[in-house]
């Protein structure tokens, strides 16, 4: 168990913008930070981080919370794991206890798979460094590749013994279940036996963006023609190769800082470049580049430079991935190495300064690269040249930005010596085709939605739940301004010189929470929404017991569902900042400019709504019988109407009825 004192230290130390900044590229938006949602595929930022409030909100998915909840949502950490991750990040000492057999049994399936993978990484790494076989075979191989001991330790490289079941027996002996060894693909289970998948291979652990071990890549060192040179973990609940980039954990900060990502093909390319001081590099690990992998980089930068071997056999096939990069609205460059060289070999024999200079000087725009490559194939063949031109324009059509498309068309025209008009016409046809296809897809999705959608009353679908919105505003006010002291107008009954009782306006100072509490108590109002009621009661108790309000401390005491609700309410006001209204000369009124007025208007509007509801209930009790006496009910309704007129006067505006 982690002590409460340690948890509080973690919450006090961790900065939400720093934690999320390791996973998402954030840009300043007023006092907040914004970025692309890490939970959905989007082109415009709807993800907001508030350094002041130390919370975040993703408007595209509805998720939100603090630094801990982000890690739980994004990395699927348990609460203790998120605390441990933050403690490690901020060098906070934390008491680690060995996981008991009971705790292992209670852990959910995914968590058990993570634990097995982490144990495997430590086992392979220890075998590499501490056994005779590991040193003689695995360590020698890595040293031959030019990797230093520091690099081997940083990337957690390892070695799996040549024995058929060495790892499996060790894991079983430590209490790890065969079920999870099989599900992670570390152990292959047959009817009468089980054996290690990666027997006799050097091991490359594949990590998530937060450093969790998801799977492994293993390279065989013998000349066994029947065995694959490289073997990866199979797909599992925690490892999806199309959604993972090798090296992203070690590269993420450099990518965000340098605003560029180098993309290579293999594990050793990543490690060698990283060791040479080029740390903003990742690999697709031998798989074709996928949209999910590109989006992973897109959270950190808009710029990708693809590094190709000088004599890469499948170069043309490889550059198809560039179209995917363009389609995601990213900027693509290409850099090739001299014949016979790859990123690994070139980085190994080149000094840091020369390597950085080479990558900078030889990175060319994708359009120039693709044109120069394909023009060699076309030569003087007009048919091939026509195909090439269409191929180029197809790539350009993938770019979402119209201005960029036009610039690239002009560049294509210059390189291929063809009129811009022809290229623009071809582009228009392709773009129109894409729009048509997208429209068909949208109609299909809408049709499917309409089939499964339950019948609803159209009036009910558009009608706003006013009571819900008003109660939500009350919680928002308490969270934002609860301890702020403001001047409020009170109406006091006094006897004047003529002996008449009259209402006199008087300004008095209240803390905002006191004003709201007294007003709702006076009307004997209890919030109707259960979560809001729970938060309201808890907030009032908190304010009565504490002089100041610390949001981080307050969120810690709430149940997760209530903490989520609080975060949703607090970040809702930041939505306007995503649209940059001021740049469009639209001024958004800030609530804190007139806190007293905002509080008074909200309370009066709530009263208006509740009184209106009472009037409707009275109207429903009226009898339609000719001889029925409705005078008492009508008189009571008239008194309530007078009250509504009073609210209207105080608000200084005429408001529409809610019913």
pLDDT at 437: 60
Q: What is the mean pLDDT of residues 461-466?
A: 56
Q: Which among 46-60, 452-466, 518-532, 629-643 has the top mean pLDDT? A: 46-60
pLDDT tens per residue, range 164-183: 999 999 999 999 999 999 99
Burial of 349 (0-12, 13-18, 19+ CB in 10 A): exposed
- What are the Cα distances from residue 602, in Å, to 123, 596, 606, 655? 61, 10, 6, 13
Q: How many domains does the chain have?
A: 4
Q: Is the same domain home to 83 and 113?
A: no
Residue 453 confidence class, pLDDT cut points 50, 70, 90: very low
| Helices (H), ranges, 55-155 | 67-74, 79-89, 101-106, 109-130, 132-133, 140-144, 149-154
Residue from 592, 580, 564, 589 nearest 57 by CA:
564
β partners of residue 307: 335
Q: Is residue 136 part of a domain?
A: yes
Between residues 355 and 191, which one has the greater pLDDT? 355
pLDDT tens per residue, range 548-591: 887 777 877 777 778 888 888 887 766 655 555 444 444 444 55
Strand 47-50 to 32-35 pairing: antiparallel
- CATH code (residue 259): 3.40.1360.10
pLDDT at 313: 54
Range of the domain at 408: 248-431
Query: Exposure pattern of 132-171 as b/e (b: 16+ CB <10 Å)?
Result: ebbeebbbebbeebbbeeebbeebbbbbbbeeebbbbebb
pLDDT at 366: 83
pLDDT tens per residue, range 311-368: 555 566 567 778 888 888 889 999 988 888 889 999 999 999 999 999 999 998 887 7
Q: Is the same domain home to 539 and 399?
A: no
pLDDT at 179: 93
Last residue of a domain, one of 40, 60, 89: 89
Q: Is the same domain home to 410 and 262?
A: yes
Q: Is residue 441 part of a domain?
A: no
Q: Is the same domain home to 76 and 122?
A: no
Per-residue tokens: 403: 């201005």
Burial of 28 (0-12, 13-18, 19+ CB in 10 A): exposed
Q: Is residue 457 part of a domain?
A: no
Q: Is residue 99 part of a domain?
A: no
pLDDT at 187: 96
**Least-confidence region, from 401-405, 463-467, 490-494:** 490-494
pLDDT at 655: 41
How high is the mean pLDDT of the chain? 80
Q: Is the same domain home to 45 and 179?
A: no
Residue 129 has pLDDT above 70, yes or no: yes
pLDDT at 413: 83
Q: Is the same domain home to 502 and 645?
A: yes
Q: Is the same domain home to 347 and 391?
A: yes
Q: Is residue 547 part of a domain?
A: yes
Q: Is the same domain home to 392 and 299?
A: yes
Sheet architecture: strand order including 281-283: 281-283, 261-264, 303-308, 331-336, 364-365
Q: Is residue 227 part of a domain?
A: yes
pLDDT at 622: 75
CB 86 within 8 A of CB 68: yes
Q: Is the same domain home to 317 and 227?
A: no
* pTM of the full structure: 0.63
Cβ contacts of residue 44 below 8 Å, gap of 6+? none
How many DSSP H helices and E strands does the chain contain? 30, 18
Q: Is the same domain home to 125 and 24?
A: no
Between residues 259 and 642, which one has the greater pLDDT? 259
- CATH code (residue 175): 3.90.980.10
**Rounded percentage of the chain residues whose pLDDT exceeds 90:** 26
How many whole angstroms separate alpha carbon 574 and alpha carbon 581?
12
Residue 248 confidence class, pLDDT cut points 50, 70, 90: very high
Q: Is the same domain home to 305 and 258?
A: yes
pLDDT at 576: 53
Between residues 196 and 436, which one has the greater pLDDT? 196
pLDDT tens per residue, range 628-659: 677 777 777 777 777 667 666 666 643 433 44
Tokens 């191929």 sit on residue: 391
Sheet architecture: strand order including 201-207: 158-160, 201-207, 213-220, 230-232
pLDDT at 20: 92
How many whole angstroms separate alpha carbon 18 and alpha carbon 29?
16
Q: Is residue 162 part of a domain?
A: yes
- CATH code (residue 69): 3.90.580.10
pLDDT at 372: 74
Q: Which among 85-89, 202-206, 399-403, 476-480 has the top mean pLDDT? A: 202-206
pLDDT at 651: 62
Residue 202 has pLDDT above 90, yes or no: yes
Q: What is the mean pLDDT of residues 78-95?
A: 84
Last residue of a domain, one of 178, 206, 237: 237
Q: What is the mean pLDDT of residues 376-384?
A: 74
Sequential DSSP letters for 564-583: HHHHHHHHHTTGGGGGTGGG
Q: Is the same domain home to 218 and 281?
A: no
Residue from 179, 228, 178, 175 nearest 199 by CA:
228
Between residues 512 and 524, which one has the greater pLDDT? 512
Residue 482 has pLDDT above 80, yes or no: yes
Q: Is residue 133 part of a domain?
A: yes
Last residue of a domain, one of 216, 237, 258: 237
Residue 377 has pLDDT above 80, yes or no: no
pLDDT at 466: 80
């Amino acid at each position: 168990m982690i002590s409460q004192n340690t948890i509080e230290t973690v919450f006090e130390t961790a900065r939400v913008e720093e934690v999320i900044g390791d996973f998402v590229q954030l840009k300043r938006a007023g006092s907040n930070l914004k970025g692309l949602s890490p939970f959905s595929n989007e082109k415009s930022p709807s993800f907001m981080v508030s350094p002041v409030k130390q919370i975040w909100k993703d408007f595209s998915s509805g998720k939100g919370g603090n630094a801990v909840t982000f890690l739980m949502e994004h990395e699927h950490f348990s609460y203790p794991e998120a605390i441990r991750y933050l403690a490690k990040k901020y060098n906070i000492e934390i008491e680690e206890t060995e996981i008991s057999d009971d705790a292992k049994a209670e852990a959910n399936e995914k968590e058990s798979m993570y634990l097995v993978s982490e144990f495997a990484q430590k086992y392979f790494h220890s075998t590499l460094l501490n056994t005779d076989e590991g040193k003689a075979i695995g360590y020698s191989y890595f040293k031959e590749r030019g990797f230093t001991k520091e690099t081997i330790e940083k990337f957690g490289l390892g070695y799996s013994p040549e024995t058929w079941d060495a790892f499996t027996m060790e894991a079983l002996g430590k209490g790890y279940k065969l079920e999870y060894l099989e599900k992670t693909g570390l152990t292959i289970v047959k009817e009468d036996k089980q054996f290690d998948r990666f027997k006799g291979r050097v091991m490359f652990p594949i990590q998530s963006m937060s450093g969790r071990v998801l799977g492994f890549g293993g390279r065989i060192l013998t000349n066994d023609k029947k065995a694959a040179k490289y073997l990866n973990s199979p797909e599992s609940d925690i490892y999806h190769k199309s959604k993972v980039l090798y090296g992203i954990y070690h590269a993420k900060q450099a990518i965000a800082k340098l605003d560029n990502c180098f993309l290579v093909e293999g594990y050793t390319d990543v490690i060698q470049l990283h060791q040479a001081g080029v740390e903003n590099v990742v690999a697709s690990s031998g798989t074709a580049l996928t949209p999910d992998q590109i989006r992973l980089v897109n959270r950190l930068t808009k710029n990708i430079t693809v590094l190709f071997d000088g004599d890469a056999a499948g170069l043309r096939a490889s550059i198809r991935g560039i179209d995917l990069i363009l389609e995601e609205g990213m900027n693509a460059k290409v850099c090739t190495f001299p014949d016979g060289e790859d990123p690994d070999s070139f980085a190994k024999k080149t000094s840091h300064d020369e390597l950085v200079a080479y990558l900078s000087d030889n990175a060319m725009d994708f359009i120039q690269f693709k044109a120069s490559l394909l023009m060699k194939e076309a030569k003087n063949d007009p048919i091939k040249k026509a195909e090439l031109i269409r191929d180029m324009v197809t790539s350009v059509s993938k770019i979402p930005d119209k201005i960029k498309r036009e610039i690239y068309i002009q560049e294509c025209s210059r390189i291929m010596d063809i009129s811009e008009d022809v290229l623009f016409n071809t582009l228009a046809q392709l773009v129109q085709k894409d729009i048509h296809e997208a429209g068909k897809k949208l109609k299909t999705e809408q049709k499917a939605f309409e089939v499964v959608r339950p019948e609803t009353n159209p009036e009910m679908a558009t009608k706003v739940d006013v009571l819900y919105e008003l109660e939500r505003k009350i919680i928002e006010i308490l969270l934002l301004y609860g301890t702020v002291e403001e001047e409020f107008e009170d109406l006091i009954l006094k006897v004047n010189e003529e002996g008449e009782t009259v209402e006199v306006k008087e300004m008095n100072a209240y803390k905002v929470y006191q004003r709201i509490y007294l007003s709702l108590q006076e009307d004997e109002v209890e919030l109707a929404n259960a979560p809001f009621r729970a938060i309201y009661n808890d907030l009032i108790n908190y304010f009565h017991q504490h002089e100041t309000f610390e949001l981080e401390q307050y969120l810690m005491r709430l149940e997760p569902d209530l903490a989520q609700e609080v975060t949703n309410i607090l970040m809702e006001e930041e939505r306007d900042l995503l649209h940059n209204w001021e740049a469009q000369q639209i001024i958004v009124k800030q609530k804190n400019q007139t806190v007293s007025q905002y509080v008074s208007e909200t309370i009066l509007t709530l009263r208006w709504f509740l009184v209106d509801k009472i009037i409707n209930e009275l109207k429903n009790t009226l009898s339609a019988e000719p001889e029925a006496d409705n005078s008492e009910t009508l008189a009571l309704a008239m008194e309530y109407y007078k009250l509504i007129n009073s609210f209207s006067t105080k608000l200084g505006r005429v408001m529409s009825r809610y019913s």
